Chains A and B, each alone.
Chain A
Amino acid sequence: MERKFVCIRCPQGCEITTTLNGNGAITEITGNSCRIGADFVKAELTDARRTLTTTVRVSGGTRPLCPVWTEKPVPKDKVLDLAAQLRTITLNAPVSAGQIIIKNAAGTGINIVASAPVMAPGGK
């Protein structure tokens, strides 16, 4: 059986074809330009992951929102739940770049961190 993928690991977006045998094991990978592409399709078949980026409310800041992201990709099926969870949180300003917002999010072992600072008024 053949399965086709578009690699999302870099902007090039290689079209990768994998051939699977009867047991679902990969017998051939073609179309990738690098190792990352091969790793990507292996992961898509066994443990598909995505980076989640969203915003979290901030109170007492110069901005109402802080952009956050999962430090590493999380299992794809956790993305919507984590986004919903992050909609319920409010942080207090100031928030620094890289500050941990949720440790070990949804038991994935991966932290959610701020991707930019939010100052308190007066530039703190």
Chain B
Amino acid sequence: MNTTYDVVVVGAGPAGLAAAIEAKKTGAGDVLIIERNDEPGGILPQCIHNGFGSVIFKKDLPGPAYAYNFIEEAKTLGIEIVLDTMVLNITPDKKITAANSRDGFLEFEAGAIILAMGCRERTRANIRVPGDRPAGVFTAGTVQRLVNIEGLMPGKNFVILGSGDIGMIMARRLTLEGANVLKVVELMPCLTGLRRNYVQCLQDFNIPLSLSTTIKRIIGKKRVEAVETVKVDESLNPISGTQETIACDSLLLSVGLIPENELSKKAGVILDPLTGGPAVDENMATNINGIYAAGNVVTIYDLVDYVSKAGMIAGTNAALYTMGKSSSPKYYRLIPGDGVRSVVPQRINTSNIALKSSSTEILIELRVLHEFDSKVFIDIMDGDKVLYSHMEKYARPAEMITLRVDTSKLAGATGDLTVVVSSK
């Protein structure tokens, strides 16, 4: 282990691995990944289900197999990965402090840093579920780790709050391991995860789903004994008289993910309140020179393939930065307009676009504010002028929309750009 590296990546999950690999391939010298877990791969080793790789590998792979491909490539390229190590601080001039139980306190200097810390789950405290405080209330990801990595089954009869992908996938997983999943309840009037997971995780195993329903109260002294569910109206307020008590010993929460940005803030990186992650340009550059960010630390993605893609973009550009091959930026903002909740990247470097001859496509990821049942148009506007338009058969808040925009379309921009969704 050295004390100076061309590129240091924080986090060896799908974004960090892809970023390190691409940085090395682009020409960065020494590349280090710092990982707090005892193995690389991030969350993928516990995501034993298939459904990964359709974009990158054109294959349907389980999480561990998807990660294995990247881990092996990183090894082959001679990328250093230091495990069991927690990054404690990052400064704007790219000094990193970290610690582990082998080496104690560690200091590194980096030519460029890639933030790839991922996200964490929202907990009971985040959503304020009233009632007793017994054992048996878990986040879905915690149970996924217990069941898939540690070989422990934390309960027998489960109720799941939230129809996110992890919740539905765990409903199937617990059923396959012989536990009972009594019900999945969802506050919103629509599914918040992918529909294929409703089919293959709930429908296939006859697990009931109640929409517009939430948990009103947790009941139990030492261990969860029951939960009380209640229907909610259009304003998400409980409807009295609709309570139902379900006897169970465990409650799983699949109620959303939060980008993990404590380190980003210490480094002076500006966050976008709409995504909770660093505001980045199309190269995944943050506001701090030489600090890049990629993956769920930036915005919560639906698919790991796009997390890896973002990592690749960050890796390439971090390497170019250390090689002195990046241009001074001239930014136009990319602003969420009508019907759009959030957009990544939040700004576009027009001087970069003018320079780009080989790479002519940028990825723009957005989420809509509400459900559009039929055909929608997603337009990128320069004032009243439409620079780019894309059609989708429908749009749902739960499903991220990825635009592949030819940079030549944006080359004529005269100012900040707005992204709007309309059914026209």
Contacts and interface: CB of A to CB of B under 8 A. Distances in A.
Interface of A: 5-11, 13, 15, 33, 50-55, 57, 63-65, 67, 69, 76, 79-80, 83-84, 87, 97, 115-117
22 contacts: A5-B199, A6-B196, A6-B199, A9-B196, A10-B54, A10-B196, A11-B303, A15-B195, A50-B200, A50-B204, A53-B49, A54-B173, A55-B148, A57-B151, A67-B64, A69-B62, A83-B177, A87-B177, A115-B62, A115-B64, A115-B65, A117-B68
B77 interface: no
B338 interface: no
B150 interface: yes
Contacts of B62: 53, 67, 69, 115-116
B176 interface: yes
Given A7-B196, A53-B50, A97 B176 contact: no
Taking each of B48, B68, B149, B204, which has the highest tally of chain A beta carbons within 10 Å of its own beta carbon?
B48
Contact of B178 (A15, A53, A84): A84
B80 interface: no
Nearest to A7: B196
Given A50-B204, A53-B50, A11 B64 contact: no
Interface residues of B, number: 34
A11 B148 contact: no
Interface string B245-283: 000000000000000000000000000000000000000
Contact of A11 (B49, B178, B196, B199): B196
A6 B195 contact: yes
Contact of A65 (B68, B148, B176): B148
Identify whether the interface residues of B are mostly helix, strand, loop, or mixed. helix
A57 B65 CA distance: 18
B220 interface: no
Q: Which of A7, A13, A15 has the most CB of B within 10 A?
A: A13
Contacts of A76: 204
A10 B197 CA distance: 11
A42 B187 CA distance: 34
A8 B65 contact: no
B302 A11 contact: yes
A67 B199 contact: no
Nearest to A44: B199
Contacts of B73: none
B411 interface: no
Q: Which 5 A-B pairs have the closest CB atoms?
A: A116-B64, A67-B48, A13-B195, A8-B196, A115-B62
Interface string B174-214: 01111000000000000000111011100010000000000
B64 A65 contact: no
A7 B200 CA distance: 10
A13 B194 contact: yes
